[in-house]
Homo-oligomer: A and B are copies of this chain.
Amino acid sequence: MENIAPNAPSPENQQRSLQRDDCLRAFRETRDCSMQLAAPLSPEDQTLQSMTDASPTKWHLAHTTWFFETFLLEPHDKSYTAFDPAYRYLFNSYYEAVGERHPRAARGMLSRPGVDEIYAYRRHVDEAVTRFLLTASEADWPAIASIVELGLQHEQQHQELILMDIKHAFSLNPIAPAYDPQTPPPGTSSDLGWVDIPGGLYKVGHEGETFAFDNEGPRHRVWLEPFRLAARLSTNAEYRAFIEDGGYSRPDLWLSDGWAEIQAQDLSAPIYWRQRDGEWVEFTLHAEQPLDPNAPVCNISYYEADAFARWSGKRLPTEAEWEVAFSRASVEPSEGVSLHPTAATGDGLTQAADACWQWTSSAYAAYPGYSPPPGAIGEYNGKFMCSQFVLRGGACITPRGNVRLTTRNFFPPSARWAFSGVRLAEDHA
């Protein structure tokens, strides 16, 4: 497994409305964490955009700063002076309500502002936010704390993207650079165990005072038939067996779109797997490494996950199944449960959020009763509810603050650069 855990803010941040001190500390720690993630990267590295879906490191550093400037300082801090008015355009990601923006596919063309200037931008905004948080009135505090919390969650999402994106960019370089030159520890894995979950009417989704993204609620009832969930993720060794059994040449195993894709792109293995002298190696944030048979298979598309599950005689879980299994709650509300990522649950489920996100068979859609919040913030999640699948859990590169029982990550079925793996499921008579 790759071994790059972003420094996480302490778990207290997850509790209720943030106190001012906690808020300031979380702000400082989260902002520092982004800078530490960028530290091993040269100005040249930070400029790369390897595909439209990915962004340059320095763009992430600037955009997360733009978020605080646009949603916190500009509307709430009358004394704030913009660092550079052009940044409003340059570093907007997709908020139509905020105005025109630089085309996503052209982010890699912005050599200027350079890394030094973006670091200065971050300092400018950090100082302004800090000053503002210290001086905001008590009356305004809850609203302000809520924006800061969203901004920090947002920044943590981009911390994960920084690592996903640089891994993809480096993978295109024939000299296979290492983001982190250390050698990762080997994985361990046991025989595949199963956890049985009875059918019934359950509640899923977020509810309560603690932070969650809008798309995690409302909490609502779902009926589930009895099912079983694999206790651990599927491994590289298991996925290699799928390949060796002709997995990439049997159309009966694949969704029609997935088969078209592997034919068109001539795919025969996960995106980061390579043959070197007859052996599989895997490109990682630690450069190329021998394929670790015990580590979870990672960076696979929904199509690959689904075909592998079909080959295994199993299926992918729905997101409700995943959440119910990990919560072991029935119809009781579950307030902001923090997943403990590495420890096993009482039932024996492991690898909730410390290895790979886990593809579910659920298309990303609104929960019953969901409606996006008004204004630009309403564009955060709702407008993407189409042609994507939900992933649950978290990955080794996911900041802990983004890991909740109810977190819904989502990607198109062809996406292969997320840290995405497979937890198998099956019906249970």
Contacts and interface: CB of A to CB of B under 8 A. Distances in A.
Interface of A: 42-48, 50, 58, 86, 89-90, 94, 96-97, 102, 106, 108-115, 169-170, 172-175, 177, 201, 220-225, 251-252, 254-259, 302-303, 361-363, 365-366, 368-369, 378-379, 383-387, 412-413, 427
Contact of A174 (B43, B90, B108, B369): B90
A97 B90 CA distance: 44
B42 A112 contact: yes
15 contacts: A44-B44, A44-B46, A47-B111, A48-B109, A48-B111, A89-B174, A96-B259, A102-B174, A111-B169, A111-B170, A252-B378, A252-B379, A255-B383, A303-B386, A387-B412
Given A111-B48, A223-B223, A384 B255 contact: yes
Contacts of A175: 86, 90, 112-113
Contact of A383 (B221, B223, B256, B362): B256
Contacts of A363: 363, 365
Give 7 nearest A-B pairs by CB, closest first.
A363-B363, A96-B251, A44-B111, A43-B43, A45-B111, A256-B383, A44-B47
Nearest to A118: B44
Nearest to A254: B383
A108 B108 contact: yes
B173 A201 contact: no
A407 to B, nearest CB: 20
B223 A45 contact: no
A96 to B, nearest CB: 4
Contacts of A170: 111
B386 A42 contact: no
Nearest to A201: B223
B386 A114 contact: no
A119 to B, nearest CB: 12
Given A44-B115, A45-B111, A363-B363, 11 more contacts: A44-B46, A86-B174, A89-B174, A220-B225, A222-B223, A225-B369, A252-B379, A255-B383, A255-B385, A257-B387, A361-B366
Given A46-B44, A361-B365, A413-B386, A110 B223 contact: no
B257 A386 contact: yes
Contacts of A177: 111-112
A333 to B, nearest CB: 16
A118 to B, nearest CB: 10
A23 to B, nearest CB: 30
Nearest to A427: B369
Contacts of A114: 42-45
A360 to B, nearest CB: 11
Contacts of A44: 43-44, 46-47, 58, 111-112, 114-115
Nearest to A258: B386
Contacts of A222: 223
Contacts of A252: 96-97, 378-379
A429 to B, nearest CB: 10
Q: Which of A50, A256, A412, A427 has the most CB of B within 10 A?
A: A256
Contacts of A362: 365
Contacts of A254: 383
Contacts of A255: 383-386
A109 B368 contact: no
A158 to B, nearest CB: 18
Contact of A109 (B173, B220, B365, B412): B173
Nearest to A222: B223
A19 B221 CA distance: 44
Contacts of A361: 365-366
A41 B106 CA distance: 19
Q: Which of A50, A102, A175, A303 has the most CB of B within 10 A?
A: A175
A355 to B, nearest CB: 25
Contacts of A259: 96, 383
A94 B257 CA distance: 12
